[in-house]
Amino acid sequence: MTFRAVALVVFAIALALVPVLTPATAEFWITQANYIGLYTLVVIGLVLLTGIAGLTSFGQAAFVGMGAYTAAYLTLTYGMSPWLTVWVGLAVTGVAALLLAFITLRMSGHFLPLATIAWGLSLFYLLGNLDFLGKYDGLLGIPAITFFGTPLNTGRSFFYLLWTIVVLAAIAVTHLLDSRVGRALRAVKGGSTMAEAMGIDTFRVKVTAFVLAALLASVSGWLFAHFQRTVNPSPFGLNMGIEYLFMAVLGGVGYVWGALIGAGVVQVLKDQLQVWLPRLMGTSGNYEIIVFGVLLVLMLQYARDGLWAFVDGVLPRVRRKVDWAAAAALPARPRPSHGEVVLDVRNARKEFGGLVAVNDVSFQVRAGEILGLIGPNGAGKSTTFNLVTGVLPATRGEVALLGRRIDRVASRRIASLGVSRTFQHVKMIAGMTVLENVALGAHLRGGRGVPAAMLRLDRAEERSLMREAERQLQRIGMAELMHEQAGNLALGQQRLMEIARALAADPILLLLDEPAAGLRLKEKEGLANVLRQLRGEGLSILLVEHDMDLVMGLVDRVVVMEFGTKLIEGTPEEVQASPAVRAAYLGTEH
């Protein structure tokens, strides 16, 4: 058993003893613990949504309200069992979250947080104005949840149900983060270009995070209704939405268990402040909000990663156990036959306003061939890559892969057809290990989704993905670094990691944008050997590189660009002999 697993068991036992060991005179603390559990559930969702996927929401309290009101209304009006209403609540919240996600998640920048504020407010006023939901008085007399005939109508009995759900949710989300979907979730935080290039549907991933967070909030609402035995709009308004986010930030928005710390500290602190602040100020009022505001600013200044970061710092680093040596190999793509035209670029053009970055450029890459694309800085090489990989739409012209037009196809669809790339400026998830970053490249070669990941039913596939990631790292000579955090690597190693990631996609066409920049001589030689070997296996490679010794000693043909225009195409010998090329390179010798 790992240290973390032992810690979890100890925590679960300690938790189970809380109701037993708390004296009857301290019932108050059982109530506090129950509120902390209810909040933790919501905040775990926020960790997923905000900490992992990078989407800020002030509106989670509204989803808690949906779960709570659905449960309250259905039990009171139809006498429905809470064990049924929880599912109805999940369905109602899920549909509402899906709708909201489709409306708001395409918004960029600050619009999403603003939209979450808007719906947080609207639900509050809606609940307060609906007759059948009791307006601002809410619904009273909600029965307790009954567990095999026993009503959970005391704080202590409710505690067990609540905290079982909290711990299971934390475990499920932890499992999710350590999976194919979890890596995709992390990948959308830094922008969509890299994730889409790995075949990840970033919009869908965001919707997933959004709906999951809403569902966790809904369960919390269901429990809340049966714990308080009454519901009214006030705990589901914007204030509480802000408080949930504060709990997440305080605990550590990137950590599942930070949710517990955040919810715990805020609840206890709020309670104490409500006692002490009015005495200090002489009058009563919601002064704790001011203290929370100041605390939040201090946190963001001095402890951005939240309180759990300190705990995480002392815990031993989790090192993925290498259990995939015997895993099944992932299925491979059929390869085009040698010499077949893989990529056909015909009069591709890209204008940025008045600037013609790529000026009617044409070239072909055949199976089992390395084509070098060279030219001074600003010649349009990276833009050409972006046209081929669907990152940018071409202004005019055609791009075809194995005879099929791809110039109007989305980046991730192109990835799924077997085009894989690296970036001139490394794009990776710095906080993930090298192995996990490379596994991102194999995203489309797996298919397990959220439920499988949460229940750990994805392990066979996960082992195959890890085996593939390690295999590609071995090929590139980096296997011994697989457990490192990617952000700790030297720049040259990060570039090599990107190549391994691209290879993990099992591409038929590989596009490398300045792969040797920052590499040492030995590493460059190693890279050249790997590329030769890949060519021998029938892969097509389009290589942008400034190191002329590397390019000329490696490629079959060269295309030279300058100011967006193709100057010449030929063998390395032909190109090197060309006076036009010499002129273009004068003063920009590399």
CB of 375 to ligand ADP, least distance (A): 6
Q: Which of 377, 536, 537, 586 binds ligand ADP (CB under 6 A)?
A: 377
Stretch that binds ligand ADP, among 197-205, 374-382, 439-447, 523-531 (CB under 6 A): 374-382
CB of 377 to ligand ADP, least distance (A): 4
CB of 369 to ligand ADP, least distance (A): 21
Distance between CA atoms of residues 230 and 228, nearest Å: 5
Question: What separation in angstroms does the CA of 347 have from each of 69, 370, 376?
Answer: 60, 21, 20
CB of 91 to Mg ion, least distance (A): 49
Distance between CA atoms of residues 331 and 233, nearest Å: 53
Q: Is 374 exposed, middle or buried (0-12, 13-18, 19+ CB in 10 A)?
A: buried
**For residues 40 and 15, is the Cβ–Cβ distance under 8 A?**
no
H helices, E strands: number in the chain? 23, 14
Contacts to ligand ADP from residues 498-527, by CB under 6 A: none
Nearest to 174 by CA among 162, 182, 166: 182
CB of 43 to ligand ADP, least distance (A): 38
Q: Is 310 in the site for ligand ADP (CB under 6 A)?
A: no
# chain residues binding ligand ADP, by CB under 6 A: 11
Reported residue count of the chain is: 590
Stretch that binds ligand ADP, among 83-91, 184-192, 274-282, 373-381 (CB under 6 A): 373-381
Distance between CA atoms of residues 97 and 206, nearest Å: 12
Q: Is 159 exposed, middle or buried (0-12, 13-18, 19+ CB in 10 A)?
A: buried
- Judged by phi (left if over 0) then psi (alpha if -120 to 50, else beta), residue 456 lies in left
CB of 37 to ligand ADP, least distance (A): 48
Q: Indicate which of Mg ion, ligand ADP, none lies near residue 380 (CB less than 5 to 8 Å, by partner kind).
A: ligand ADP
341-352 and 396-401 beta bridge pairing: antiparallel
- Judged by phi (left if over 0) then psi (alpha if -120 to 50, else beta), residue 56 lies in beta
The partner residues of 542 in beta bridges, in order of sequence, read 371, 511
Binding site for Mg ion (CB under 5 A): 381-382, 424
Distance between CA atoms of residues 422 and 391, nearest Å: 12
Q: Is 208 in the site for ligand ADP (CB under 6 A)?
A: no
Nearer Cβ to ligand ADP (26/355): 355
> Which residue shows structure tokens 């369905």?
91
Using the 8-state DSSP alphabet, how is residue 392 labeled? S
Nearer Cβ to Mg ion (253/419): 419
CB of 320 to Mg ion, least distance (A): 34
CB of 193 to ligand ADP, least distance (A): 11
416-436: b (≥16 Cβ within 10 Å) or e? ebbbbbbbeebbbbeebbbbb
Three-class SS of residue 562?
Answer: strand
Stretch that binds ligand ADP, among 33-41, 85-93, 350-358, 457-465 (CB under 6 A): 350-358
Nearer Cβ to ligand ADP (378/526): 378
Phi, psi of 438 (to 5 degrees): -70, -35
Site string for ligand ADP, 353-372 (x = CB under 6 A): --x-x---------------
Q: Indicate which of Mg ion, ligand ADP, none lies near residue 258 (CB less than 5 to 8 Å, by partner kind).
A: none
Nearer Cβ to ligand ADP (61/541): 541
Phi, psi of 405 (to 5 degrees): -65, 130
Strands of 298-426 (E only): list them.
341-352, 355-366, 370-374, 396-401, 404-405, 419-421
Nearer Cβ to ligand ADP (115/414): 414
Nearer Cβ to ligand ADP (301/377): 377
**For residues 343 and 542, is the Cβ–Cβ distance under 8 A?**
yes
Q: Is 380 in the site for ligand ADP (CB under 6 A)?
A: yes
Q: Indicate which of ligand ADP, Mg ion, none lies near residue 283 (CB less than 5 to 8 Å, by partner kind).
A: none
Q: Indicate which of Mg ion, ligand ADP, none lies near residue 375 (CB less than 5 to 8 Å, by partner kind).
A: ligand ADP
CB of 490 to ligand ADP, least distance (A): 23
CB of 348 to ligand ADP, least distance (A): 12
Q: Is 375 in the site for ligand ADP (CB under 6 A)?
A: yes
Site string for ligand ADP, 18-57 (x = CB under 6 A): ----------------------------------------
Q: Is 352 in the site for ligand ADP (CB under 6 A)?
A: yes
CB of 114 to ligand ADP, least distance (A): 27
Structure-block tokens of residue 154: 């005391």
The binding site for ligand ADP (CB under 6 A) comprises 352, 355, 357, 375, 377-383
